Amino acid sequence: MHKMDEVETAKFNDNKLAELAETLEGADRQVVREALSEILQLREQEQKLQQELQEQKRHLKEAVAFLSNWAEGFDSIIQNPVNLKNEDLLQTRYHALRESAKNLVASSRLKVKNIMRHHE
């Protein structure tokens, strides 16, 4: 059953319960009304939980994409061999590698901070 069909069916059932409550008297009417109220509250909670789940999935996808990019960044650093006999190239390369590593570390710390903030 599609989500829209489920929603329509649920609304139909809610209406039927409300109609049933109106045909009853006293304690029976109160029981049905309370049951309907509880059903509506549970449905609201379910909606909120579904929204939270979607948000968590989005955060997870962001984290996976970030870590993939992070891995690619490190991969690009280690893919370029350094000629250890060429001191000028070695000095230039060392500083470039150091800056790349600093950037990766800084971006990871920021990402971890963002992830932790969303899970508080």
Percentage of the chain beyond pLDDT 90 is: 18
Number of domains making up the chain: 1
Q: Reply yes or no on whether the pLDDT at 94 is more than 70.
A: yes
Highest average pLDDT, of 26-30, 98-102, 116-120, comes from 26-30
The CA distance from 61 to 108, in Å, is: 15
- Average pLDDT of the chain is 84
How far apart are alpha carbons 50 and 70 in whole angstroms?
Answer: 30
In this predicted model, what pLDDT tens digit does every residue of 14-54 receive, in sequence order? 888 888 888 989 999 899 899 989 999 999 999 999 999 99
CA dist., res. 58 & res. 64, Å (int):
10
Query: What integer pLDDT is reported at residue 1 of this predicted model?
Result: 58
Structure pTM?
A: 0.61
CB 86 within 8 A of CB 38: no
What is the per-residue pLDDT for 44? 93
Q: How far is CA 57 from CA 45, 49, 50, in A?
A: 18, 12, 10
Domain that holds residue 75: 3-118
User: What band does 66 get if pLDDT is binned at 50, 70 and 90?
Assistant: confident
Residue 4 pLDDT = 64
pLDDT at site 75: 83
